[in-house]
Amino acid sequence: MTVMQEQVFLVKNLLLAQSKPFPLKGSKFTELGGHRRMETSITMSKGGRVDGVTRIWTDKHWKGFTGFVAVTIADRAGNVL
Which residues are within 8 A (CB) of 15 and not within 5 positions of it... i.e. 6 or more apart? 26
Q: Which pLDDT tens digit goes with each residue over 18-66?
A: 567 889 888 999 998 888 999 999 998 888 898 999 999 998 888 888 8
pTM for the full predicted model: 0.66
Strand partners, 1: none
Which DSSP letter does residue 21 get? P
Residue ranges of domains in the chain: 5-66
Average pLDDT over residues 2-21: 50
Strand partners, 66: 7
Which DSSP letter does residue 70 get? -
